[in-house]
Amino acid sequence: MSRIDSLRQLTESVFVRLFGYAPHAAIQAPGRVNLIGEHTDYNDGFVLPCAIDYQTVVSAAVRQDGIVRVVAVDYDNQQDEFDLAKAIVPHSEYVWANYIRGTVKFLLARGLPLSGMDMVVSGNVPSGAGLSSSASLEVSIGQTFKELNNLDISQLDVALNGQQAENHFVGCSCGIMDQFISAQGRAGQAMLIDCRSLEGRAVRMLDGVDVLIVNSNVRRGLVDSEYNTRRQQCEAAARHFNVKALRDVSLSQFEAGIEGLDPVAVRRARHVITENRRTLEAADALARQDAHRLFTLMAESHVSMRDDFEITVPPIDTLVDLIQDYVGERGGVRMTGGGFGGCIVALIPSALTDEVKQVIEREYPARTGLQPSIYLCHASDGAGRLN
């Protein structure tokens, strides 16, 4: 049985057991991995993620009384209940419930006609790994209300609504990438997203290549404070160049105008400006199935994150190096996500995947004392109803 079929069967059986009747539908929304384009989103730049076949599944049925009941299977079947006719406020105890309450609150704020809902939710997107388990949850809930209420909203609206919930209800600052690709991903394709115009261009993934995600399992301290510092440094650099965002600075403009800019801000800006170029070029490389160029760009991206943006840590660099040393020019690997731990993403020829997994499982613990978590993924469809 596939992972998603297991989730569907689980949520449906819990639904029947706890609510006493069968759900009307099952909805899924995936997590994601960003192939290239790191810390470019809040600089109005470009990212190149794909949705992955790790998902959140919601089994649901419409209610006529305006009450929303939710069961979180992954949190020991904890239950939340709230009334659409009353002000929706944060849950006093359950953090998971706020992603759901926030998503529903902002759908209501759009003036959309919502019915009550019974929902049972479960997911297998690894939590805390930088694979967007939270966006997967927000989008799955938004998609459930869209599908079962026949709402006339676009998939981009579903994504933007989830981002609003995370930013303004949960209280986590995030760009649009995670929700965008969860709502609009396509099987077998990555998507080049312009984080300013919110336009996406699908590009076919490499033939015969697997997406391998490895969680370093580094304990991540200081992530939020370092993220905010990087963001402030980028904003200061944009002000220096008198532009809205670093997306508006070309490499030649950057090189000609760095006098008077703080040396640290110079490095931060150089990463963002060159990363945007790399991301655009990576999408073109994918479009023409130029694996060698894509792998080179991924390597350059990692070096830039390590040396200019300074967001990698020694175990991550060790993980990247041991994979790159083994595959050579046959694959690409880089850190993915906000940094200071988290995951690497590797594009590996399918024939080499098992060997690479064995190398990671043998060498990474020996060199770092840490145990890796390895996820073999495929680019998958965005949110929708399960048949």
166 marked as part of a ligand binding site? yes
Q: Tell the residue number behind the tokens 């759901």, with chain if given.
A: 100
59 marked as part of a ligand binding site? no
Q: Is 178 a catalytic residue?
A: yes
Distance CA 344, CA 320 (A): 7
The answer to whether 297 and 281 are in contact (CB under 8 A) is yes
Strands 67-72 and 116-123: parallel
The answer to whether 132 and 31 are in contact (CB under 8 A) is yes
40 marked as part of a ligand binding site? yes
132 marked as part of a ligand binding site? yes
128 marked as part of a ligand binding site? yes
Q: Given 44, 80, 118, 178, which residue is catalytic? A: 178
227 marked as part of a ligand binding site? yes
Per-position b or e across 151-169, b if 16+ CB within 10 A of its CB: bebebbbbbbbbbbbbeeb
Question: What is the DSSP secondary-structure string of 213-255?
Answer: EEE------SHHHHHHHHHHHHHHHHHHTTSSSGGG--HHHHH
129 marked as part of a ligand binding site? yes
Angle at 360 between CA 359 and CA 361, to 5 degrees: 95
The answer to whether 341 and 214 are in contact (CB under 8 A) is no
Per-position b or e across 202-230, b if 16+ CB within 10 A of its CB: bbebbeebbbbbbbbbbebeebeebbeeb
353 marked as part of a ligand binding site? no
How far is CA 156 from its chain centroid?
15
226 marked as part of a ligand binding site? no
Distance CA 187, CA 51 (A): 8
What is the set of active-site residues?
178
Residue set of the binding site for substrate: 38-41, 227
Residue set of the binding site for Mg(2+): 134, 166
Residue set of the binding site: 38-41, 128-134, 166, 227
Residue set of the binding site for ATP: 128-134
